[in-house]
């Protein structure tokens, strides 16, 4: 349930989104919240509509909020998947991200979600990474970024990017540690039985 006194963490979803790109961070932040009596975060999904869509490989999901009805995210996660290529041409979604970005405390991308940040010029002068097969596309879209090939995720302060799929869990656990302390990250990793992430 949405509560005004908690920070808002929104995860963008779209057709052909990679399932673990969104589900991994959703699980990490939701578990952290659960372990703290649901007092830290409103964790929700945002879509162009709330209609049921098919994620990569056919999983059917629906967003909690539309772009128009979503509470302003303090933290925005942009997952990847083959559907990011359509988003690169979706003016409505791109404009929404551009409007939301200045008010976000942090923006995190998983896998090819970094292409969206590159398309919007948000990676200029920053380190960035993505799925190893997507690196050439990111280099073309974000020529002003330093593309890192051998790291699970990058932390530029406000903007974080991760490599593919499971790397989004590493980044999310790291972010839990940044926001709420290392002990919270360890507790979350223990609960989901996942190795603690490093830099």
Q: pLDDT, tens digit, for every residue of 18-49?
A: 999 999 999 999 999 999 999 999 999 999 99
Split at pLDDT 50, 70, 90, the class of 195 is confident
Q: What is the reported pLDDT for 4?
A: 77
User: What mean pLDDT is reported for the chain?
Assistant: 96
Rg, C-alpha atoms of the chain: 15
Distance from C-alpha of 104 to C-alpha of 121, rounded to nearest angstrom: 16
Percent above pLDDT 90 for the chain: 94
Q: What is the reported pLDDT for 199?
A: 43
35, 184 contact by CB (below 8 A): yes
Distance from C-alpha of 117 to C-alpha of 19, rounded to nearest angstrom: 19
Q: What is the reported pLDDT for 196?
A: 66
Q: What is the pLDDT of residues 141-152, one digit of tens each?
A: 999 999 999 999
Element (H, E) at 22: helix 19-35
**What pTM did the predictor assign?**
0.95
Q: Residue ranges of the domains in the chain?
A: 7-191
Average confidence (pLDDT) over 180-197: 92
Residue 198 confidence (pLDDT) above 50:
no
DSSP 8-state secondary structure symbol assigned to residue 103: G
Classify domain 7-191 by CATH architecture: 3-Layer(aba) Sandwich (3.40)
Residue 2 confidence (pLDDT) above 80:
no
Q: What is the reported pLDDT for 88?
A: 98
Average confidence (pLDDT) over 165-189: 97
Residue 188 confidence (pLDDT) above 70:
yes
Q: What is the reported pLDDT for 113?
A: 98
Percent above pLDDT 70 for the chain: 97
Q: Is 121 left (phi over 0), alpha (psi -120 to 50) or beta?
A: left
Which alpha helices (DSSP H) does the chain contain, by range? 19-35, 84-87, 91-100, 113-119, 135-141, 167-180, 182-191
């Amino acid at each position: 349930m949405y509560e005004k006194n908690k920070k808002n963490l929104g995860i963008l979803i779209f057709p052909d989104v990679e399932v673990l790109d969104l589900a991994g961070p959703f699980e990490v932040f939701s578990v952290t919240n659960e372990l703290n009596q649901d007092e830290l975060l409103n964790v929700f999904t945002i879509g162009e509509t709330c209609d049921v869509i098919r994620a990569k490989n056919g999983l059917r999901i629906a967003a909690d909020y539309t772009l128009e009805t979503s509470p302003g995210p303090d933290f925005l996660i942009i997952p990847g998947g083959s559907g990011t290529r359509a988003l690169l041409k979706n003016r409505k979604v791109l404009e929404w991200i551009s409007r939301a970005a200045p008010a976000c405390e942090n923006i995190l991308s998983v896998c090819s979600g970094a292409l969206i940040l590159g398309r919007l010029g948000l990676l200029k002068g920053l380190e960035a990474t993505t799925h190893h097969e997507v690196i050439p596309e990111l280099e073309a879209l974000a020529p002003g970024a330093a593309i890192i090939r051998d790291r699970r995720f990058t932390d530029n302060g406000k903007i974080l990017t991760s490599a593919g799929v499971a790397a989004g869990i590493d980044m999310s656990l790291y972010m839990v540690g940044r926001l709420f302390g290392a002990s919270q990250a360890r507790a979350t990793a223990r609960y989901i039985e996942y190795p603690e992430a490093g830099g």
